[in-house]
Amino acid sequence: MELTNRIREAGFRPVAGDALRIDATEPTAFLAENPGTLAVEVAAGCRAQLVVLCGAPTAAELRIVLGTGAALEAAVVFLSEAFAEISVVQEAQSSCRLTTAQFVSSEMRCRIGLEGRGAENELKGFFVAAGTEHCVAEIRTEHRATDCRSDSTVRGVAGGAARGEFRGMVYVAPGAQRTDARQQNRNVLLGEAARIETQPQLEIYADDVKCSHGATVGLLDGEAVLYMRQRGLSENQARSLQIEGFVGEVVSHCGIGPLSGLLTEAVAAKLEKM
Amino acid sequence: MLSVKNLHASVDGKEILKGIDLEVKAGEVHAIMGPNGSGKSTLASVLAGNEKFTVTAGSAEFLGRDLLSMPIEERARLGLFLGFQYPVEIPGVTMANFMKLAVNEHRKYRGEEPLTAGQFLKLMREKSAVVELDSKLTSRAVNEGFSGGEKKKNEIFQMAMLDPKLAILDETDSGLDIDALRIVATGVTRLHTPQNATVVITHYQRLLDYIVPDYVHVLYKGRIIHSGDKTLALKLEKEGYDWLINDYREE
Amino acid sequence: MEQIGGREYKYGFTTEIETETIPKGLSEEVVRLISAKKGEPEWMTERRLKAYRHWLTLEPPTWAHLTIPEIDFQDIIYYAAPRPPKKLGSMDEVDPELKRTFEKLGIPLEEQMALAGVAVDAVMDSVSVKTTFKETLAEKGIVFCSMAEAIRDYPELIRKYLGSVVPHTDNFYAALNAAVFSDGSFCYIPKGVRCPMELSTYFRINAAGTGQFERTLIVADEGAYVSYLEGCTAPQRDENQLHAAVVEIVVERDAEVKYSTVQNWYPGDREGRGGVYNFVTKRGLCRENARLSWTQVETGSAITWKYPSCILAGDNSVGEFYSVAMTNNFQQADTGTKMIHVGRNTRSRIVSKGISAGSSQNSYRGLVRVAKAAEHARNYSQCDSLLIGDRCGAHTFPVIDVRNRTAVVEHEATTSKISEDQLFYCNQRGLTTEDAVGLIVNGYAREVLAKLPMEFAVEAQKLLALQLEGSVG
């Protein structure tokens, strides 16, 4: 697949074996291709970038640990049917930015544990399902310490007879005061037989918290389509541009090398065929 | 260029336009004024083809074609531009992508080749100078996070990019400070040629200091109740609409 | 259906059943016995048996976010009605705690007596109210009677509608209810009739003490309208631990039903001992252009398991759910709604306000489903949680399932607490902390309270404040 090759050529450092320990303060971008099991540890105060590519049918298990004050920016890209379990454990003051991209049938289960005070996690993900594809994005964010912040956004597009599922959970443990947690899931159905199921859930056992979640399924802003048509775009053009933008907002969050641009092109290419 | 006859239009069963007649020729600038709720924005929307409104009677010809039978995008490609009073934000869609598609659709309609990326960028740079639009804004999502003034400048920038035959500018002056107003108005004037025409919908005389109209029409309760030259706008500024409305009531 | 109202006594029904109870436990004999005691026709007995046999195949649901102690269904007396509630001689015998609550709520003495179980024979006022009430309804052809009377007097309607929205196969507790329901209310509004007053179970003398397995059926025929009030704001004295009621509502074409509940069953004591288990199945079916609106204020019961739902079968039908659920001490509530969009242009709106205090657990659980044929269906849900204190829990479990691309579904949820600043501000203006909390909570719940009929709303407001006493330190 073209995207696979272009990611390979992007100059990331390949990961060999099933463990990666990062103890550099200057970030290096790593690439792990079709990992079975991979344990990544970012040592205290260190930083790194990591791209995980599921380009062949995979059952991946990814365990990421961020030490105190560590920072990681990671992206998980699904280009082949895959089942992936991702766990991220974050110590105090660590920060993690995640981008997840599901281009084909895949089930992603992501568990984020904010274990140390002041840890931050930002996740932006999308799936684009066509034909009879079935994408599942499960994000469980656990706030187990005080003063942590999490913000997850997943956007889904389902065409044809595809199915998209979002299962979100923000869990705030007793005592995890001053938690700031946000979770958002927005979906667009393009296909006549397509289906979206979404479960944005909250389980909260502390009172001094700011938690919110939202989920939407449905058409995008009709005013915007009208506006674009006034500038001469056909309704179809306006709608596809809008959907590209809808996914694009999530993709642009990714700051790893040229990945954001590559993903944007791949999204446009897939949408065009839908 | 534009010939509107006895145009009636309604929204949700309520009649807003109750018989509009308007003739606009190439090279002309028309100003449409009138108190709030008189139907000015509706007229603009109906001419642009907003499907929210239903035309119940009358006709409109544009460049010899039946305007009312065309979908909104065809009217646009034929050369009708509407500058929105409240430009819509389109998250995630960059100005550059949007404009490139729009410009090339216009070109395709006229049977011209699409612009290359280089030509397009050059055009963007050139036209953004017309309204002093920060070139950074063109890499942002359409209208998203733009200030009120930036949104209006962006409308005129798009007008410059698309080079319409007829531009209808709906309250383009509202919400602008004096500097932005000058920039926007000067931009519109610079784009004016003997081959195109402009219809300016406004509340205030101040925009007309820059964009000098050939005709001024007063719209009230869905009808044009009075037309005159630019001095009418000055008189309205001084005396308000009451003298006209009172006359109209007496009729 | 035109004949309703003038129907004759038909099935040799006798209301003179001796006050007696049958042994604990449930069996086919017990079901037959219940049916016989109530003098029911054969078809009703068969229905009960069918439900019972189905119930035997079921297990109690465990998916809710609730910790439910195991219930021994063979340790329950399934027939104790129509035993009148234990009468007390005078208000002096009433629990002082209960009396204090009545006073705070500003409930008239007569009502206090009725609610506390003091003999009310002397209270002539409410009887006369009942009589005028019945006459007015009869003029309009409106039927409002007990379920037992309905089975006797309106068998066609009951056969047509009972179990049509909540079949006995629906869930464990619905099956149990269908087998052993004690009594309940039946309400029928004929075509095109607007019920001129709010119907309330409170006005129906035999609604009192109907026990743990209440069955309600409301039918609004084409173009009819009714507003129905269930329950009462005052704490009801009740010895039953398990309540498994079923409420079915049929809203025919162009009809509208508003169903309001204020539920304040005994919530157990501060240590979480005792209290009612309220496991209720409530559902309405909307035909074309019909509208069903559920409003609930849930403050009582030790455990609440309740999801008033709307099946929007007809095109252009509308479903609404407005809820305030408050839990304190060791109460647990798992409540919400289901909006099932089947028809085209169906619309639904969900507003849920949860308030958790003490060591309680409060969950919103909801389902919004848009079927494939439900073109242009629209749903908006807003679920807010307010936490008071750091030992309680507030949870949100919505499920959205959309199979039509023209549908638009939006769900939003927020969680917050009463801020120190708000309290300080109120204290500075001379309010006690308790008053301030009451004020803030009522403001938070206002959107829902505003949907209640006026007198109900005023009492519900007081109730919310009262229920929170002692929860803010």
What is residue C7's predicted lDDT score, i.e. its pLDDT?
A: 35
* Cβ(A96)–Cβ(A90) below 8 Å: yes
Report in angstroms the alpha-carbon separations of C91 from C112, C199, C206, C239: 8, 28, 22, 19
- pLDDT score for B92: 85
- In chain A, residues with a C-beta closer than 8 Å to the C-beta of B48 are 230
Q: Give DSSP secondary structure letters for chain A.
A: -HHHHHHHTT-PEEP-SSEEEE--SS--EEEEES-SEEEEEE-TT-EEEEEEEE-SSEEEEEEEEE-TT-EEEEEEEE-S-EEEEEEEEE-TT-EEEEEEEE-SSEEEEEEEEE-STT-EEEEEEEEEE-TT-EEEEEEEEEE-STT-EEEEEEEEEE-TT-EEEEEEEEEE-TT-TTEEEEEEEEEEE-STT-EEEEEEEEEE--SSEEEEEEEEES---HHHHHHHHHTT--HHHHHHHHHHHHHHHHHTT--STTHHHHHHHHHHHHHHT-
Give the count of alpha carbons within 13 A of B36, CB side only: 1
Q: Which residues of A touch B83 (CB under 8 A)?
A: none
CB contact under 8 A, A249 and B90: no
Task: Closest CB to C409: pick one of A194, A208, A218.
Answer: A218
Q: In the beta sheet, which residues pair with residue C111? A: none
Contact A241, B93 (CB under 8 A): yes
| CB-nearest partner of A232 from B76, B84, B88 | B76
Q: Which two tokens stand for residue C249?
A: 């509502």
Region C184-190: mean pLDDT is: 91
Residue B74: CB partners within 8 Å, gap ≥ 6?
B109
Of A174, A191, A212, the CB nearest to C405: A191
The pLDDT-based confidence of C292 (bands split at 50, 70, 90) is very high
3-state class of C332 per DSSP? strand
Residues of B in contact with A241 (CB under 8 A): 90, 93, 97-98, 101
Chains B and C touch (3+ CB pairs under 8 A): no
- For chains B and A, having 3+ Cβ pairs within 8 Å is answered yes
Q: What is the CATH number of the domain that holds B22?
A: 3.40.50.300
Q: Is A189 in Cβ contact with C405 (below 8 Å)?
A: yes
A233: contact with C, CB 8 A cutoff: no
CA distance B7 to A114: 64
CB contact under 8 A, B102 and A231: yes
Dig out the tokens for C255 from the structure.
């009809």
Task: Answer yes or no: is A53 within a domain.
Answer: yes
pLDDT at C370: 97
CB–CB contact A189 C404 (8 Å): yes
Beta carbons of B141 and A245 less than 8 Å apart? yes
In this complex, is the C-beta atom of A215 within 8 Å of any C-beta atom belonging to chain C? yes
Confirm whether A33 is domain-assigned: yes
pLDDT in tens, B111-121: 999 999 999 99
Specify the pairing of strand C225-231 against strand A58-66. unpaired
Name the minimum distance, in Å, from the CA of A154 to any CA of chain C.
14
Residues in chain C within 8 Å Cβ distance of A218 = 402, 407-410
pLDDT at residue A98 in the model: 97
Helix axes C42-56, C172-180, angle to 10 degrees: 150
Q: Do C417 and A211 touch (CB under 8 A)?
A: no
B151 shares contact with chain A (CB less than 8 Å): no
Is 70 exceeded by the pLDDT of residue B245? yes
On whether the CB atoms of residues C105 and C463 are closer than 8 A, the answer is yes
Are B93 and A221 in contact (CB < 8 Å)?
no
Contacts of C370 in chain A (CB under 8 A): 217
**A231 lies in some domain:** no
**Which residues in chain A are contacts of B84 at CB distance < 8 A?**
227, 230
Give just the sign of the alpha carbon dihedral C466, C470, C471, C473. positive
In eight-state DSSP terms, residue C165 is S
- Predicted pLDDT at C16: 35
Contact B88 A235 (CB under 8 A): no
Q: How many domains does chain B have?
A: 1
* Inter-residue long-range contacts of C117-121, CB under 8 Å, 24+ positions, other chains counted: C117/C85, C117/C86, C117/C87, C117/C88, C117/C237, C118/C87, C118/C88, C118/C89, C118/C90, C118/C91, C118/C93, C118/C94, C119/C87, C119/C88, C119/C89
Residue A97 maps to a domain: yes
Q: Which residues of B touch A240 (CB under 8 A)?
A: none
pLDDT, mean over chain C: 82
More confident residue, B174 or C168: C168
**Tens-of-pLDDT digits for all 274 residues of chain A?**
688 899 999 889 999 889 999 999 888 999 999 988 999 999 999 999 999 999 889 899 999 999 999 999 999 999 999 999 999 999 999 999 999 999 999 999 999 999 999 999 999 999 999 999 999 999 999 999 999 999 999 999 999 999 999 999 999 999 999 999 999 999 999 999 999 999 999 999 999 999 999 999 997 788 999 999 999 999 989 998 999 999 999 999 999 989 999 999 999 999 988 8
Q: What is the nearest CA distance from C367 to chain A, expressed in angstroms?
A: 9
In this predicted structure, what is the pLDDT of residue A71? Answer: 97
Residue C366: pLDDT over 50: yes
Q: Which of the residues B93, B151, B165 would you substitute to probe the A interface, choosing the one with the greatest number of A C-beta atoms within 10 Å?
A: B93
Q: Is the pLDDT of residue C208 over 70?
A: no
- Candidates B53, B67, B70, B72, partner chain A, best to mutate (most A CBs within 10 A): B72
10 Å CB burial of residue B248 (0-12, 13-18, 19+) is middle
pLDDT of residue B134: 83
Cβ distance C408 to A193 less than 8 Å, yes or no, reads no
Question: What does the pLDDT read at residue C273?
Answer: 79
| Mutate which: C399, C402, C404, C468, vs A, most A CBs within 10 A | C402
Decide if A240 contacts A271 (C-beta within 8 A).
yes
CB-nearest to A231 from B76, B97, B109 is B76
Ranking C93-97, C169-173, C281-285 by mean pLDDT, the lowest is C93-97
B: neighbours with 3+ CB pairs under 8 Å?
A
Domain of A162 in residue numbering reads as: 2-220
Minimal C-alpha gap between B232 and chain A (Å) = 31
Number of domains in chain A: 1
Predicted pLDDT at C351 = 97
C151's CB contacts (< 8 A; 6+ apart) are C38, C40, C41, C44, C158
A34 CA to centre of own chain: 17
Hey, what are C86's tokens?
């234990």
Look at the alpha carbons of C252, C253, C256, C259 in this order and tell me if their dihedral is positive or negative. Answer: positive
Give the pLDDT score at C422. Answer: 82
| Total beta-carbon pairs less than 8 A apart between chain A and chain C | 110
Residue B191 CA to residue B189 CA, distance in Å, equals 5
Q: How many CB pairs under 8 A join A and B?
A: 82
Tens-place pLDDT, residues C249-261: 999 999 999 999 9
Confidence of residue B97 (pLDDT cuts 50, 70, 90): confident
Give the pair of three-digit tokens for residue C69: 């102690």
Closest chain A residue by Cα to residue B79: A232
The predicted model gives B137-156 an average pLDDT of 89
Whether residue B76 lies within 8 A of chain A, CB to CB, comes out as: yes
With a CB cutoff of 8 Å and minimum separation 6, the contacts of C155 are C10, C41, C43
Instruction: State residue C5's pLDDT score.
Output: 35
Among all chains, which residue has been given the structure tokens 């002309």? B28
Provide the residue type at C378 as one letter. R
Interchain CB contact of A168 with C (< 8 Å): no
| pLDDT on residue C470 | 67
Hey, which residues does B177 pair with through a beta bridge? none
- What local confidence, expressed as pLDDT, does residue B203 receive? 81
Distance from CA of A138 to the nearest CA of C (A): 14
A263 domain residue, yes or no: no
A193 touches chain C (CB under 8 A): yes
For residue C3, pLDDT over 50 is answered with no
> Are the Cβ atoms of A194 and C395 closer than 8 angstroms?
no
Residue C46 to residue C44: CA distance in whole angstroms: 5
Parent domain of B20: 2-248
DSSP string covering B179-228? HHHHHHHHHHHHH--TT-EEEEE-S-SGGGGTS--SEEEEEETTEEEEEE
Asked if residue C265 has pLDDT above 70, the reply is yes
- The pTM of this model reads 0.84
pLDDT band at B75 (very low <50, low <70, confident <90, very high): very high
Residue pair C145/C3 in contact (Cβ under 8 Å)? The answer is no
Contact status, residue A120 vs residue A91, Cβ threshold 8 Å: no
Give the ipTM of the model, two decimals please.
0.91
